[in-house]
Structure 1
Amino acid sequence: MTSVSEENLPSPSRKTALFLFLFGFAVAFVFVFVLYGRQNAVAVAYDVNGFGGLGRRLASGEGFSLGSGLTMRRAPLYPGLVALLLTIFGVSGEGAEIYRPVFFVQCLMVGATGVVVWAIGRELFNERTGRIAGVLTPLLPQTLRYVSSTEVETLMGLLIALMAWTGLRFWRRPGMAQAVLFALVCAASTLTKPMGLPYPFVFCICLFLKFRKTEGSKLFVATGACLGVYLLCLFPWSLRNSIVSEGKFRGISTNAAGEFLRGYVLAQPKFFLLKQDFGGNDSRELIWDVEANDYEQKAMESYSVPFY
């Protein structure tokens, strides 16, 4: 019997990455397909904000619509992913049944996010820190809350982690390949939820100011390419929204202003100390983040665009 050479054995890093991926996937899978429908800590709802329905209509050939004409209130990437999965696996079914392929893929995303977080932790700090961070990632309440619904947050969490990882690599090794990869990840994040829209600009400015004396023209070309690729990826959807709104709106999502504001609104003590009354058990009575919605509605009225 021949022995397996050491070169063919998985490296410790590969084994750690595989373990964290499988651990994150397993935690998410058990919560989605076993625990979520049986728990009563939060209301069981699979498509609260209509992303699943949007993907379903897209897969059925009804267009990018929330049900009342073409919408500009959502960024395209996540509904497009939902539509792709439903096109492959079918659009018939009720409730959670139709979205099972989406939930399964989101479980894979949770596993992948843990691996990316581990990679960031080990590069910034050490192996132990990375492993702890990778294990904790799928156990976060926010992770479990959104993986069981057709919401953008699971995909967004993965992309934000990838933004941090590719940004770290770009910062430490400024070059064309790192610039393009960072730009593509930032574009994917922005086309999922436009909260990441200004990040590449701020990042590239800081990078250029930090290394302009040592990297010179090479850095100028890399940051320019980064922003060029980023804007090029966003242009088709911006053009689509301009056409739909007859030139009144050229952004990624009319919901962007409200999404930015929610970060500040929900940071108020009345929210994070749970002093805000969100209503009773009936989901129709939930007050949600009314301040952000009011701000968003006023912003959209200036473009003569309906709230939904």
Structure 2
Amino acid sequence: MYSVPDLQTFVTVAKCGGITSAAAEQGLSAATVSHRIVKLESALNVTLFHRNSRNFRLTDEGQVFLERVEAILEDLQQAEIEVGSRTPHLRGHLRVTLSPWILSRFVLPQLAVFRKQHPDLTLEFLAVDRFVSLVEEGQDCAIRVGKLSDSALIARKLSDNDRIVCASPGFLADHGEPTSIEELRDKPWVCLPWQTQHDVKDIRGRKRRMSVSRSIFVSNSDMLTSGALEGLGLAVKSRLAVKEELESGRLVEVMPGCLDAPDAPISFVYAAEGRAGRKIKSFYEFTKEAFRLGAGDFCARTNE
């Protein structure tokens, strides 16, 4: 039979990618670490690692086991803390994926407060604009923009939001303000790589697919905002992402209502069977408050 230390060693080997580095991390001999892994595989009757001369790589079974064991060990550690000292502090590690603009504009400005409350909880942010599978990429939770597809994930709405076309006043002075879909299409644009086509509505309300060709492409949403501010072109942005720029006049909404189905609510998402428990719940509460402070009237009322 295996023990809690065996499970802790398994997690360390998985994270370090090898016996020697895991042994150094835990202050054990390489022989002890190797013995624990062999004992664990024997008890489970499964191969947890692909082994070669350089490193250990998790098998598919090992990856599933790691996800379960990490959560169990963190829950156990948290239970020991709460029973022993009644402290509300969280411990362990939380992985969050979100768009760069949400991280820079809503999460980071308020994060110091959360860190003071939970100094022993480490946070890892995967800030990308692409869709990230929580399971496949090992993320505990996500903050997503846009309407969600039906899935086994649990979603909590953080705020209302919509997408708009915007530009700097200087750009409009130089290139003219478009008044039709044709003029909109033919202006210079700054885009994310997948934003070359947009569903729009003409003056009669008919849905059309507009292709953008005269573009500057950037790799993330924060750079998209910077490009628009610099007068490089029109941009499609979440209204919440450029709320401050719109209020200050540094960006202007162009042809309001021209985008078809512009609603893009902000949601907090996590797996229904996740075992991260209090960590996810606490980070959700923090995120909800961060949006309340940063989004103002946009922020939606959510059910507890």
Do they fold alike, i.e. is TM over 0.5?
Answer: no
Higher helix share: 1
Which structure is richer in relative contact order (CA contacts within 8 A, separation 6 or more)? 2
Q: Give the alignment's TM-score, normalised by structure 2.
A: 0.22
TM-score of the two chains, using structure 1 as the length reference: 0.22
Greater per-residue strand proportion? 2
